[in-house]
Amino acid sequence: MPYLFVGAGQAGCAIVDAVFDHQRVAQLATPVAFNSTIRDLQNLSNIERDAWYGIAEGVGLVPGDTAGFEEQVAGGFGRDPRKADEVIADQGEAIRDAYRARFGEETPPYAFLFLGLGGGTGCGIAPHLAEALHEYGEETTHVIAVGVLPNTARATEDDDEVRATRQAANTMYGLDRLEEHVDGMILVDNQRLAYEDAAEGRFNEYNEYVASAIVDLISGPILERIDPGSYEDLDAPIIDLRDIVTSLRLPNEEVGYAALGRSITMTRTLPGYLLPFLGRKSVDGAALSRIAVSKRSVDGLVPEETRKAIGQIRAPAPYIVDDDYRIQASVVRNLLDSYCPEVNLGMTLTERNLASFTTLLTYAREDIDRLQEIEEVAERHEGGVTT
């Protein structure tokens, strides 16, 4: 299993849990969850207790199978990442032991670290988890962070304003520290949900969207046990995690900040599900790619300011090898080429009756207006978190 998936705090652990809801992902990756609240850990459906690690004041790191775990890991850090940072700061060896217990002595070449940037636990502990990943991997493990930005839309109620400014201050505190320890950053913006009715009820769907995009990017044909060699006419480009890390790295080793986007379309009509020889639909590659870009995970981004782009087309074999149904990869590439000069595009097979396109658009931090907006909101926070 080449990958390690690390969840930090409530939001980070929830996304990792959603990743492992996908069939056979456990054959490709190993999960581990770090949190300070037992209730959030107990809400996980796909991460077993032996992969839980609690963060508790006065104790430090507590393995999930420890007697009295529930009593020790109960309180959280009250949305204060500095408290979480203080508790975890001297736990580097214990964190490395946790990775070793989950993954083994043969260290992972790649690790994903998921966290919420507006809260206390994930924001406070994530830099230490990333640093320990590099130390555990003897500097050969590449770490990609997936950070969830809080909704900081200007509120009309004073309490909401205080909450927004505090979350913004936490975000800047977390990003500034985490950036030193990761190879690249993928951002997910909860403010994308702020404009929808009943947004609070959409977080699970949003987690599933993010998880599906990550799985599409990393899995290639492996999870579906498809042998590309069995298709004589298959000559499709392949992307792997090395390519993803490259797409997240800017010149002079600067950390890139990416937004992800994913779109899907069914490849069969309803009669085609009942009679396999009927109902195959054509797929418009231009529409598939444009919809994915429009669904990018950060609010207010300008695609034309992208520095690098990577994309993955996943489709049944006829849409990759059959002239009658082939998705026009050149159209998809042309769209990405119109945004930036460095583009990497891959195509891979699925046995499901759907086609998807998943993309990462990478920016320099200073080009993301949303981060500048969060920084401005953070400056309004009394007693704001500072580095």
CATH numbers and ranges of domains, the chain: 3-195 (3.40.50.1440), 232-247+257-363 (3.30.1330.20)
**Single-letter residue type at 130:** A
Q: What is the pTM of this model?
A: 0.92
pLDDT tens readout for residues 353-367? 899 999 999 999 999
Burial 75-111 (b: 16+ CB within 10 A, else e): ebbebbbebbbebbeebbeebbbbbeebbeeebbebb
Q: What is the pLDDT of residue 386?
A: 45
Residue 271's pLDDT band (cuts 50, 70, 90):
low
Angle at Cα 285 formed by Cα 279 and Cα 291, nearest 5°?
A: 105
Q: How high is the pLDDT of residue 181? A: 96
Buried residues in 133-159 as b, exposed as e (16+ CB within 10 A): bbbbbeeebbbbbbbbbbbbeeeeeee
pLDDT band for 228, please (50, 70, 90 cuts). Answer: low
Kindly report the number of other CB atoms within 10 A of residue 38's CB atom: 20
The confidence score (pLDDT) of residue 319 equals: 87
56 pLDDT above the threshold of 60: yes
Q: Residue 74: which of 42, 39, 123 has the closest Cα?
A: 39
pLDDT bucket at 296, cuts 50 / 70 / 90: very high
Using CA atoms, how far residue 322 sits from 49, 165, 232, 233, in Å, is: 46, 54, 11, 8
What mean pLDDT value characterizes the chain?
88
CA 170 to chain centre: 19
**Cα distance between residue 219 and residue 351, in whole Å:** 14
- Summarize pLDDT for 370-379 with one digit per residue, the tens: 999 999 999 8
Question: Comparing C-alpha atoms, which of 242, 2, 33, 8 is closest to residue 103?
Answer: 2
For residue 127, pLDDT beyond 70:
yes
Q: For position 178, what pLDDT does the model report?
A: 96
> Which of the four pLDDT bands, split at 50, 70 and 90, describes residue 244?
very high
Segment 91-110, tens digit of pLDDT: 999 999 999 999 988 899 99
Distance CA 199, CA 151 (A): 11
Give rounded-to-5 percent helix, strand, coil for the chain. Answer: 45, 20, 35
- Residue 273 pLDDT exceeds 60: no
Burial label for 327, CB within 10 Å (0-12, 13-18, 19+), is: buried
Name 84's Cβ contacts closer than 8 Å, sequence gap at least 6. 36, 55, 77, 120, 121, 123, 124, 125
Q: Please say if the pLDDT value at position 257 is more than 50.
A: yes
Query: What secondary structure letter does DSSP report for 155?
Result: P
* Residue 192 binned pLDDT confidence (cut-offs 50, 70, 90): confident
Cβ atoms of residues 122 and 160 within 8 Å: no
Mean pLDDT of 11-28: 92
The confidence score (pLDDT) of residue 387 equals 45
Instruction: Name all contacts of 239-245 with Cβ < 8 Å and 24+ positions apart.
Output: 239/310, 239/312, 239/344, 239/345, 239/346, 241/3, 241/109, 241/110, 241/142, 243/310, 243/344, 243/346, 244/144, 244/184, 244/217, 244/218, 244/310, 244/360, 245/110, 245/142, 245/144, 245/183, 245/184
User: What sign for the dihedral angle of Cα 188, 194, 199, 200?
Assistant: positive
